[in-house]
Chain A
Amino acid sequence: MPRLSLTINGRAVKARQGETILGAARERGIFIPTLCNLDGLKPLGGCRICLVEVRGHPRPVPACATKVEEGMVVTTDSERVVSMRRMVVELLLAERNHQCPVCVMNNNCELQAVARLLGIDHVRYDFIAPRAVLDISHERFGIDHNRCILCRRCVRVCDEIEGAHTWDVNGRGAASRIISDLAEPWGLSGTCTDCGKCVQACPTGALFAKGTETTGKGTICLEKLVAWRQRREP
């Protein structure tokens, strides 16, 4: 297989044809943060955390979904891409209800880890605070849309690895929601094989296994939480 020569952050790098910028950088120990990327799944380029600059390209490109080319000059840590990554993570935090202290994934969360890595100590944008529901109709798992960042790892792992394609995305933009089958309760899904791959693939606390609902701050009563989230307006 032909080897291509490119430059990443001023370092000469050899890469195989067909490899992504992310893969080539990782092989050389050059770290690029990611969120929607998961090894073994097809790259989506959806979260834009892994944006890098390529000389000659007017816009930054996602490292996870861009193939290396001969003579490419890549910068992964310029001020411009770092500030863009910060902006992307802040927008993700503003889009749903990410209250870490009451989340099942506190301190095990990839979104939290990326925010910490980028030194995000506050969000400059208005919080949308959408009304998002929680579905615990499945016997063993639950989905809390308040924590979802729409990375579609669950959709892809269910489709590409398990072959069930229970999950999909409904709606557009910030109103998008992950749905099971035709927007039915998860517990009633006829396609779900109860394998739990989506729960393992989820980078945040959006998908979780029941029985692990303890945080560092005590136990969450899921039934009460669901009643509160699904209550009718007075």
Chain B
Amino acid sequence: MSRIKLATAWLSGCSGCHMGILNLHGGLMELFQLCDLVYSPLADFKEYPAEVDIALIEGAISNRDNLEMARIIRRYTKKVVSLGDCAINGNVAALRNPGGKAAVLEAAYADPVNKPVVFGECVPPLFDKVLPLHQVIPVDAFIPGCPPEPEAIRVALHRVIERL
């Protein structure tokens, strides 16, 4: 069996789930005996590769950049896994949903004189509602937790690998 190509991605989350992966400690050695890391914020990769076996995705979909990245990952990946509560239900990122986009921009960026907030082209537009990953692309497995327990990540990854 050829080595498994593993990717991880960081959408609208706090990186806590990636800390969860790092907290595998010795389990990381075990994992990388089976897998090669081909894309991840934990390493310097510029492009998402064309053939990936498993992608662990942390974070919710809260802007256009997140959505594009999720679609790219789905197109080139056999098994997409939602990692952590933000990818699964929006979690802390979705706290803004009852008020929508305008309320969060106002709360975070408005100056005391209440000038309208203007962003340049380089900032991806926020969506009005933060969405869980499985509402924008099909997802094959879910690892809940905020952040997920390292043991849950280890067991779930092994199950996904078995199903490849």
Contacts and interface: CB of A to CB of B under 8 A. Distances in A.
Interface of A: 93, 97-102, 121-123, 126-127, 129-132, 228-229, 231, 233-234
B89 interface: yes
B29 to A, nearest CB: 27
B92 interface: yes
Contact of B146 (A101, A229, A231): A101
A99 B103 contact: no
B98 A121 contact: no
Contacts of B95: 97, 99, 102
Given A121-B144, A234-B114, 7 more contacts: A100-B85, A100-B146, A102-B92, A122-B142, A123-B132, A131-B99, A231-B107
A25 B132 CA distance: 38
A127 B106 contact: no
Contacts of A101: 85, 91-92, 146
A131 B98 contact: yes
Interface residues of B, number: 27
Interface in B119-153: 129, 132, 134-135, 139, 142-144, 146
B34 interface: no
Contact of B134 (A99, A122, A131): A122
Contacts of B142: 121-122
